[in-house]
């Protein structure tokens, strides 16, 4: 399995939130934008991919750049980060969410994390035994 980097933030969930606030919270909790990303480009790219996923489509970096009025370079940079996190996949120069829904995406990511934590725990137990 390729190395993945996924940053999860514990944020207070908004109460009585509309769809936009819910998506913003989800994106923030999943680390989709940082202080350096002033225009929230990564969030906007993720949102475009989410909309496309609901239509069963994949998008090229050029399509995303055109729709969001971003440079192709900026789009590719953020797409690569989303791929590294395991949230996005690339096939034939088209990009899509790894799963057709956010629910399935989160379940897959959680399964991967559970497997990784089990492996980390196993190594920790080995180290503790070696040190005793």
Question: Quick one: tokens of 8?
Answer: 């999860």
Quote the pLDDT of residue 40.
84
Winning range, highest mean pLDDT, from 18-27, 32-41, 123-132:
123-132
> Which CATH code is given to the segment(s) 19-100?
1.10.10.10
Quote the pLDDT of residue 35.
65
Bridge partner list, 94 = 91
CA-nearest of 35, 75, 67 to 51 is: 67
Domain locations along the chain = 19-100
Mean pLDDT of 30-53: 85
Cα–Cα dist 46/37, whole Å: 13
Of the pLDDT bands very low, low, confident and very high (cuts 50, 70, 90), residue 91 is: very high
Which residues, including other chains, have CB under 8 Å from residue 13's CB and lie 6 or more apart? 25
Count the neighbouring beta carbons within 10 Å of the beta carbon of residue 82. Answer: 22
Mean pLDDT of 69-80: 94
pLDDT tens per residue across span 110-127: 999 999 999 999 999 999
Sort 48 into a burial class: Cβ within 10 Å, 0-12 / 13-18 / 19+: middle
pLDDT of 37 over the 80 cut: no
pLDDT of 102 over the 70 cut: yes
**What is the pTM assigned to this prediction?**
0.82
């Amino acid at each position: 399995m390729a190395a993945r980097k996924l940053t999860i933030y514990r944020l207070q969930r908004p109460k009585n939130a509309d769809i936009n606030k819910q998506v913003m919270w989800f994106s923030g909790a999943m680390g989709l934008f940082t202080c350096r990303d002033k225009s929230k480009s990564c969030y906007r790219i993720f949102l475009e991919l989410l909309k496309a996923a609901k239509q069963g489509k994949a998008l090229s970096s050029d399509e995303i750049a055109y729709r969001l009025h971003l440079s192709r370079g900026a789009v590719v940079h953020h797409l690569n980060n989303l791929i590294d996190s395991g949230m996005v996949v690339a096939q034939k120069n088209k990009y899509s969410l790894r799963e057709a829904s956010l629910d399935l995406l989160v379940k897959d990511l959680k399964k991967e994390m559970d497997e990784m934590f089990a492996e980390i725990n196993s190594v920790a137990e080995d180290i503790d035994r070696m040190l005793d």
